[in-house]
Structure 1
């Protein structure tokens, strides 16, 4: 009789308050054959709190490729495996994609076991619009790459959500201010679900001032939320920007026209340049089809 294939459980764990573990997650962690953990030391703390003795194996960004193949083979052999990260929902800026993808490619069963996620936790209590959002994970560490990322989402109407280190959050806020605009409402959520949970709100410059005044608010990892582009990017605004660009491009290359239009309208230069490309305004002036 052929061996029945195992199951991969993607298990969310608490991000701070251990009381947030679900009954289902507790039960599964006590029953599976193996727990693949991002950091076995962190997972052991949780298991000890729950009174669970389980077999653990390290599964992290440095061994993800080789361990994914090994664990997928174990699953094919009938093993029931729980995938957990240090905290929150696996794969959300944490390892796990390769394993889930490998399991799916082999036709194996993958079962989500939902629970806490810092992303949704922060968004739900931020006061920023939550009907549409764009999760961008950890922004690049390099300033130029970080600004390029921000420029690429300058016109996104949904709330932007980042994970960020307290060591870099002030630099990221400065880039948000300089790239997206000083008037973007922003929120920093830290110590989520813990005793000293706090939400700092304000414009980027105001948040920088708060962080400068209290170094304790720069400790650990944070969730940074930035409001999306508001009604100023609506249809009436676009029509006017198109008109200005077309007039300027009669005499100037698109790159220069975008600079002048930015000074006249207050819109971002890069947004205007992209708009000109969409309109077919070539770099030599005039419509590309003229």
Structure 2
């Protein structure tokens, strides 16, 4: 049994696909398939069910996976111990972020690169649901995501921002004279929102479901700036972070939603358990220190 066989097996198990696992590992797909087959022959059992469109773990594979992850984590631990003793930090860190964020992510990554120039840093952008999945499966080491009042299972967080979720309309909109509206006021009205899977959209969908109706989403866009522009042109009420809407007071009127009061949190998140390399741990520690050192409003 070889270490890279365990690494390939874990990647396929997490990606549910040989091609994606090979891309993640930067190796050829036939090599991944061959090495996993060799591991199965050595163990005398199939670890993966390849009969469907996606690869699934067999019962034996489910039992083996935690031990394979633990073996890889132990190797990372050996490397980390050597790095700590020698003062050399190497490796790779994968970071994700939602489209709009208030944390100084470029500053964080630049400072980290200056301190550890041998570490490869990658940054990708996606919605919160995709980023959370990336953290849980190990594709990402850390990410800035939007969440509600709770912490997603399996993750730890450091709060970046916590503010109300509001509706914003053009000055001529019929709701513009009401600084505070109930969520029910938005029932049946055209709304402008981020797509499904984003934090703000999830907060809206959950609140509307609890109130017994589905929001009428007339326009979707992945950029809050585009949402604000659509609302400013009278196309509906945009669902936005409170501070973002308030900063556009010349073209938008901000409507506080209460009851129920909607709030959204932007957080820096990482996997609570599982293999995390020394480079990722160093980045997480730096990010937490940076966030805790910021002046509180």
**Does the TM-score normalized on the shorter chain lie above 0.5?**
no
Counting strand residues as a fraction of each chain, which structure ranks higher? 2
TM-score by length of 2: 0.26
Larger radius of gyration, structure 1 or 2? 1
TM-score by length of 1: 0.27
Select the structure with the greater relative contact order (CA < 8 A; seq sep ≥ 6). Answer: 2
